Structure 1
Amino acid sequence: MRFNVFKNTVLLFVLATVSCASKVKNETTHNNTGEKILKQVQDDKNVVVGANRIELYLPFLKGKLVGVVANQTSVIFKETAPSSKTPPNDGYTHLVDSLLSLNINIKKVFAPEHGFRGKADAGEAVADGIDTKTKLPIVSLHGKHRKPTPESLESLDIVVFDVQDVGVRFYTYISTLHNVMEACAEANIPVLVLDRPNPNGHYIDGPTLKTKYQSFLGMHPIPLVHGMTIGEYAKMINGEQWLADGIQCDITVIPVKNYSHYIAYSLPIRPSPNLPNDQSIKLYPSLGLFEGTNVNAGRGTEFQFQRYGAPFLNPETMTFKYTPVANFGAKYPKHQNKLCYGEDLKDENLNGGMTLKWIIKAYENSIDKSKFFNTNNFTKHAGTEVLQQQIEAGLSEKDIKATWQDDLIAFKKVRKKYLIYD
């Protein structure tokens, strides 16, 4: 097995290692969001994403033939205080544009789900192409291939990975990370990870994936909410030998400055078409499970993952009504042009946790329960067949969550080894 760290990268490796080893807080307190009010960002400008720390990673790229894994979130902020109120394209420049302006020789861009510009629907195949602005070739990692081919990596000296994640197992960017690391390890190409905060990084929850249900919606035996940044997760992929045959990828992580898992971080750019704001990102771990059912989770509205509903939910108890229509990010939403009954959650205060109460309530108020689950897809999202069985059997949320605890405790012990931030 190979884990050759560049000899000229020792300083950065030490930087990440020291940060990882420092001041690990009590895990139980750290992750019990039901009992702990999260610290608010004292000043967003103190948080500096990896992409903004150009002085740390530019030496890795000078004189190299570079590939970049990127989407619309891969930006360098013009100020160190990114805000969701910043006008589009005014407060930042794209990483690719910035590197080209610095005479870095980018040969191609690899695009994850939703494409390089982040406009494709969830699950929609993305074709290879040419970026109209930079004229660089775009290699899709969510089309014919989900793992870079040996041919696509030919002539590259290094690959940069910079994609904003939201910390949920079935959000596919961490699967793309795995595939990129594996392909680069096989081709003996190092990977430079520019880290970003995880907006759901302050807690760990949900069922742990059973390996027999591995798919692109979940490749590793981790909880549904894993509480790690993309850089920390890259370290875990290596450390737990999850790549094929235990091969190791030569990775260097450029860490986020002044970041802690305790910090509530607001994403200034939507990470995918159907996560438009902070509320949708907070609710996504809970409402994302509806993706494995026949219930609409707000796709086809302007309140994606902030409401749910279906025509077969009881209108006497589920009094909120809406009609999904085709729109940006949802060409064919569930129950398109049909009246749905459900709940509006745009003002719900979850305090940054995950809950099963809505999916349980929806099932209980389903007029025809045979229409509720899309069993194969739900199992992929849950990572286990047990959760559907528990909901169908009428177990309470408290009783269901109790069955996760041994796995969560075990995962937290493993997770500690790879943390870069408190």
Structure 2
Amino acid sequence: MDKVQNGIDRLQNESDQQNKISGNIALLCHSASVDENLKNSIEVFKEIYGERLIKVFGPQHGFVSDVQDNMIETDHYKHPYFNLPIYSLYSETREPTPEMLKDINTFVIDLQDVGTRVYTYITTMTYILKACAKENIKVVILDRPNPVSGKIIEGPILKESLLSFVGCMPIPQRHSLTMGEMAKFAKDHFNLSCELEVITMKNWKREMFWDDTGLEWINPSPNLPTWQGSLTFAGTVLFEGTNISEGRGTTRSLEVIGHPSIEPYSFVESIKKEIESLDDSHSFTLRPTVFMPTFQKHTGAPCGGVHIHIKDKKAFKSWRLSQLLCQKLYHHLGNDFEWVKKAYEYEYEKLPIDLINGDEAIRTWVENNDSIKALSEIENNTQEYKESIKKIYLYE
């Protein structure tokens, strides 16, 4: 199988791709924006375009992807080595202002996404498309793989009443698109007038997962140190809306979940029957574990819980497993379980769990200890989405 070439690699090697980027350039990138030799995209752009690269932007977690989640903002600054202004789009503003866009002719986006709606890079890209449409600025996407494949969809369509920074369009949690395809979806959905160009990958197929690409995994955010974490993330991210630790502050964040009140072996034994009833139960193992977060929830406290080990990536359904684990933890812990009520990604009224799930019915399903069949019925509203995205596919 041939190694995947990202958009940035094609830009380096093909002059016709380079010609798609004209005039003064703004570049949105982060630490995972690297070429096949692990050179950062800024260096590549400086080599190709020289002084035409005049502004750099960073998404949530910062330009160097070193800042933690949920409303921990990053500052604007001048890069000491590249001597370029770095504008944060996770600061007092989440979208580029007219002043930031001044003198820009082409806005280039080169971000590694993880294939899940709540991962905020989709929203940042959408805000850029909207801002550039107003200023008549061309947008170019340097495409990269969806690490959890381009075929599998999980979770219900986001309800309009729950639109937020962790979901700005009616898409499911695990959406199956690349950033380039998602840009096309956003342009169509919002009927945007901006000129959009996608520099596609070579050799990427929809059935591929990250470990099929031949590419190095670079953390796209601080708490995804492994590509497998991006696969569990599609489900375990929901625990951000609870007082269950999703493993932040450990070396396997979003692959482990737990709470100080849980004895892991008895908990795993108590849910064995329900877990075995899942049609993908062969695709993972829940290993009883204890971990101690060094920051965030339950700092310094031993947390009993499970480590999710993936055995069959193609069959594994993280979203459904995580919903079932949440339901069982809710009833296992009783009064020790809590839905988080603090502000979440600039939403101050709605519960974080509802923003993450995209439908309040899932929280009700958890609280009522309802069946897996009932959960599947909530999730079963994606057919129109599945049909609509076929026309924007850039890959087979």
The TM-score bracket by the shorter chain reads 0.7 to 0.9
From 39, 45, 58, give the equivalent of 1:111.
Answer: 58
The answer to whether structure 1 residue 339 and structure 2 residue 296 are counterparts is no
CA distance in 1, matches of 2:119, 2:267: 31
Greater alpha carbon shift after TM alignment, 128-137 vs 152-161: 128-137
TM (norm. structure 2) is 0.85
CA distance in 2, matches of 1:206, 1:175: 18
Percent sequence identity over matched residues?
31
1:180-259 alignment runs, 5 A limit: 180-200=128-148, 201-241=150-190, 246-259=191-204
The 1:196–1:255 alpha-carbon spacing in structure 2 relative to 1, beyond 3 Å, is same
Structure 1 residue 59, shift from structure 2 partner: 1.1
What is the distance in 1 between the residues matched to 2:83 and 2:140? 23
Q: Does 1:380 align with 2:355?
A: yes
Report the residue type matching 2:375 in the other structure.
Answer: I
Find out whether 1:301 has 2:222 as its counterpart.
no
- Report the TM-score when normalising by structure 1: 0.80
Shift of residue 265, structure 1, vs aligned partner? 2.2
Equivalent residue runs for 1:272-351 within 5 Å:
272-313=221-262, 316-317=266-267, 320-326=289-295, 333-346=296-309, 349-351=312-314
Q: Is the 8 A contact 1:363 1:372 kept in 2?
A: no
Higher RCO (Cα < 8 Å, 6 or more apart): 1
Contact 2:181 2:393 in 1 (8 A): yes
1:303–1:346 contact (8 Å) kept in structure 2: no
Structure 1 runs (4+) deviating above 3 angstroms are: 312-316, 346-352
> What displacement does 1:402 show?
2.5
User: Aligned partner of 2:140: which letter?
Assistant: L
- What amino acid is the match of 2:152? Y
2:372 equivalent to 1:397:
yes
Contact 1:108-1:136 at 8 Å conserved across structures? yes
Q: Deviations over 1:300-346 (max 9, x none)?
A: 000111110012335542552111003xxxxxx11111121111224
Q: Distance in 2 between matches of 1:222 and 1:409?
A: 11
What does the per-residue CA deviation read over 1:20-70, in whole Å, with 9 as the maximum and x for residues that have no partner? xxxxxxxxxxxxxxxxxxxxxx24x2x1111111224311335x1110011
- 1:417 maps to 2:374: no
Q: Give the number of aligned pairs.
A: 354
Could you tell me whether the CA contact under 8 Å between 2:241 and 2:353 is conserved in 1? yes
Name the amino acid aligned to 1:262. E
**1:313–1:362 contact (8 Å) kept in structure 2:** no
Distance 1:229 1:93 in 2: 21
Tell me which of 36, 44, 51 is aligned to 2:8.
51
Residue in 2 aligned with 1:353?
317
Pairwise CA RMSD: 1.8
Instruction: State the distance in 2 between where 1:347 and 1:360 align.
Output: 16
1:312 and 1:367 in contact (8 A); partners too = yes
Gaps in structure 1 of 5+ consecutive residues = 1-41, 78-90, 327-332
**Does the alignment pair 1:73 with 2:32?**
yes
